[in-house]
A and B are shown apart, each in its own frame.
Chain A
Amino acid sequence: MNADPRFLIVDDFSTMRRIVRNLLKEIGYGNAEEAEDGVVALNMLKAGKYDFVVSDINMPNMNGFELLKNIRADESLKTIPVLMVTAEAKKEDIVLAAQGGASGYIVKPFTKATLEEKVQKIMTKLS
């Protein structure tokens, strides 16, 4: 893992993208960019080098599940950790995310401590 990992935050609500970005900065990860849906995110992932994806599920054009599926199906992207951050608390969604290869799942509203714990857990696994 890069010493200064590059994050991609995917959410159709700019408010939430900004919150996640600020929180990541607070916990020591200031290198982050944003995408408003799965299509934009996938293009950015293919065009540049990213180390970590934090994605919402309910988004227009391409939702979080589809984005996850595309990432896992792409040889050059499939190892990137994907943390799902979503308002969807249904068990079937959580199971679907896990089966699809999500690295973690956070339900909104969440706290800074929760985000930090999940990100660090994934980072520790990678290292």
Chain B
Amino acid sequence: MGHNDPALLAAPGQAQAPHADPHESEEDIHRRIGQLTRTLHDALRELGYDRDLMDAHANLPDARDRLAYIARVTGEAAEKVLNAVDRARTVQQELSEQADSLRSRWQAVASYAASGKATTPAGKQLIDETCEFFTGVGGQADRTNAILTDIMMAQDFHDLTGQVIRRVVVLAQSLEEQLLKLLLDTTPPSLRPKLEAIELAGPVVSKAGRDDVVTDQQGVDDLLATLGF
């Protein structure tokens, strides 16, 4: 007996699934789907999974909110850092410009001192070192700017993580909708009035003129309430 034998695959006590018939009518297929749904419904009820499904469905919006919170807070943090980088750049620019200005003036003094007029050797050394310092400030400002650029570039994490979060949110939304549909499918007919008229839809951008879709969480909650959840 092979591993793919249907008799092995069927659960104990369960009737073996009928063989697929290429000539099976649409009505037969619908009936089989209905039987499968009923079997799933009974199994979920017996195992208590309907409650788990309900809990899982109820927790997904909370998970989405938390992800949205992370995206917002990290975005704000990145903006704060970028603002700080901009302010620091301005300070560096001013420092560099002031150093340039003072360097020019001190170089004039240095030229005068080099002619041996009105200065002592210690004074001349001080002038030279001051000029050297002001010359170095520009380079230091450039190095600081390079570091600020690194800090700025590191803020791209917001874009990268934000995209991942967005995809997870879409995934959670899809899962939520599928869970809701499964819940509806496994709810006894007596608890789902007019269920046949309700068709679940994906995210709806505009609900104007539509009364056949659930467009927000409140609508979902209300619908679930009518079903006894």
Contact = CB atoms under 8 A, between A and B. Distances in A.
A109 interface: yes
Of the listed residues B82, B86, B159, B160, the one surrounded by the most CB atoms of chain A closer than 10 A to its CB is B159
Of the listed residues B75, B149, B155, B156, the one surrounded by the most CB atoms of chain A closer than 10 A to its CB is B156
A95 interface: no
A76 interface: no
A13 B149 contact: no
Given A15-B159, A23-B152, 18 more contacts: A11-B159, A13-B75, A13-B159, A15-B75, A15-B155, A15-B156, A16-B156, A16-B158, A18-B79, A18-B82, A19-B82, A22-B149, A23-B149, A23-B153, A58-B163, A108-B156, A108-B160, A109-B160
29 contacts: A11-B159, A13-B75, A13-B162, A14-B75, A15-B79, A15-B82, A15-B155, A15-B156, A16-B158, A16-B159, A18-B79, A18-B82, A19-B82, A19-B152, A19-B155, A19-B156, A22-B86, A22-B152, A23-B149, A23-B152, A23-B153, A26-B149, A58-B163, A87-B160, A87-B163, A108-B160, A109-B156, A109-B157, A111-B153
A94 to B, nearest CB: 17
A109 to B, nearest CB: 5
A108 B159 contact: yes
Interface size range on A against B:
10 to 19
Interface residues of B, number: 17
Nearest to B71: A13
B78 interface: yes
Contacts of B157: 109
Is chain A's binding surface mostly helix, strand, loop or mixed? Answer: helix
Contacts of B149: 22-23, 26, 112
Contacts of B82: 15, 18-19, 22
A126 to B, nearest CB: 26
A112 B159 contact: no
Interface in A49-88: 58, 87
Interface string B131-167: 0000000000000000001001101111110110000
Top 3 A-B pairs, shortest CB-CB distance:
A16-B159, A13-B159, A15-B158
Contacts of A26: 149
B201 to A, nearest CB: 19
Nearest to B148: A22
Of the listed residues A19, A26, A87, A112, the one surrounded by the most CB atoms of chain B closer than 10 A to its CB is A19
Contacts of B75: 13-15
Contacts of A23: 149, 152-153
A14 B153 contact: no
A26 B163 CA distance: 26
A14 B83 CA distance: 12
Given A58-B163, A108-B159, A15 B78 contact: yes
A19 B149 CA distance: 9
A111 B78 CA distance: 17
Interface in A1-43: 11, 13-16, 18-19, 22-23, 26
A116 to B, nearest CB: 11
Contacts of A15: 75, 78-79, 82, 155-156, 158-159
